[in-house]
Amino acid sequence: AQSVAQPEDQVNVAEGNPLTVKCTYSVSGNPYLFWYVQYPNRGLQFLLKYITGDNLVKGSYGFEAEFNKSQTSFHLKKPSALVSDSALYFCAVRDGGNDYKLSFGAGTTVTVRA
């Protein structure tokens, strides 16, 4: 079985400070990892993914994430947070096998204060 844990329900940071949203995963095979963001009353929007290759992945809106196989983590980071980054963030994983089961974490609410 595959699963995702986002250990923090909420993350609060000041504008201009670094932002980190944590994610750990569990799969039996090779992980395909994704980050999505959800703004109020909207669907989810893709930020970035790790499939293979470089462990540091760069995505939309200045976000990046680092894949750490030994720690089974895929933390999302942004060097300088903006008020407009306030939203709900989801980490997701699927086992790179033959099915299309995708598991999401419970989500982390990010609040960036001016």
Partner 1 sequence: EAQVTQNPRYLITVTGKKLTVTCSQNMNHEYMSWYRQDPGLGLRQIYYSMNVEVTDKGDVPEGYKVSRKEKRNFPLILESPSPNQTSLYFCASSLRGDTEAFFGQGTRLTVV
Which stretches of the chain bind partner 1, using CB under 8 A? Answer: 4, 6, 32, 34, 36, 42-46, 49, 51, 90, 92, 94, 96, 99-107
The nearest distance, CB 15 to partner 1, in angstroms, is 27
Angle at 21 between CA 16 and CA 22, to 5 degrees: 150
- Nearest distance, CB of residue 114 and partner 1, angstroms: 27
Q: Smallest Cα–Cα separation from 44: which of 94, 112, 105?
A: 105
Tokens of 43: 């669907």
How far, in Å, CA of 20 to CA of 93, rounded? 18
CA-wise closest residue to 111 among 96, 94, 89 = 89
Closest CB 49 distance from partner 1, rounded Å: 6
Toward partner 1, which CB reaches closer, 16 or 110?
Answer: 110
Closer residue to partner 1, CB minimum distance, 43 or 114: 43
Nearer of residues 45 and 68 to partner 1, judged by Cβ: 45
